[in-house]
Amino acid sequence: MDKIGYPRGLVRYTTQNAVEGKPNKVIRPRVLVYATLLCALAIGTAVGILQRSPLIVDVMRDRNALYRTAADGSIENGYTLRIVNKDTQARNFRIRVVGPEGITLVEADAVHAAAAEEVLTVPVTLRAPAGLAKGRVDVDFVVESDAEGVSETEETRFFGPF
pTM for the whole thing? 0.70
The pLDDT confidence band at residue 114, using thresholds 50, 70 and 90, is very high
Average pLDDT, the chain: 89
Q: In terms of domains, do 46 and 59 share one? A: no
The answer on pLDDT for 4 being more than 90 is: no
The answer on pLDDT for 143 being more than 80 is: yes
Q: In terms of domains, do 26 and 86 share one? A: no
Q: In terms of domains, do 143 and 75 share one? A: yes
Q: In terms of domains, do 69 and 48 share one? A: no
Mean pLDDT to the nearest integer, 99-119: 90
d(CA 156, CA 149): 22
Predicted local distance difference test score (pLDDT) of residue 60: 94
Q: In terms of domains, do 77 and 108 share one? A: yes
Interval 44-81: pLDDT, tens: 999 999 988 899 999 999 888 888 888 888 999 999 99
Q: In terms of domains, do 40 and 96 share one? A: no
Final residue belonging to a domain, choices 37, 52, 67? 52
CATH code, domain with 142: 2.60.40.10
Q: How many domains does the chain have?
A: 2
Q: How far is CA 55 from CA 19, 30, 80, 105, in A?
A: 60, 41, 16, 21
Final residue belonging to a domain, choices 52, 70, 87? 52
Q: In terms of domains, do 48 and 66 share one? A: no
Domain that holds residue 84: 55-159
The percent of residues above 90 in pLDDT, for the chain, comes to 54
Predicted local distance difference test score (pLDDT) of residue 79: 94
The pLDDT confidence band at residue 24, using thresholds 50, 70 and 90, is confident
Q: In terms of domains, do 1 and 18 share one? A: yes
Cα 15 to chain center, whole Å? Answer: 48
Q: Are 57 and 83 in contact (CB under 8 A)?
A: yes
Predicted local distance difference test score (pLDDT) of residue 66: 87
Burial class (CB in 10 A: 0-12, 13-18, 19+), 39: exposed
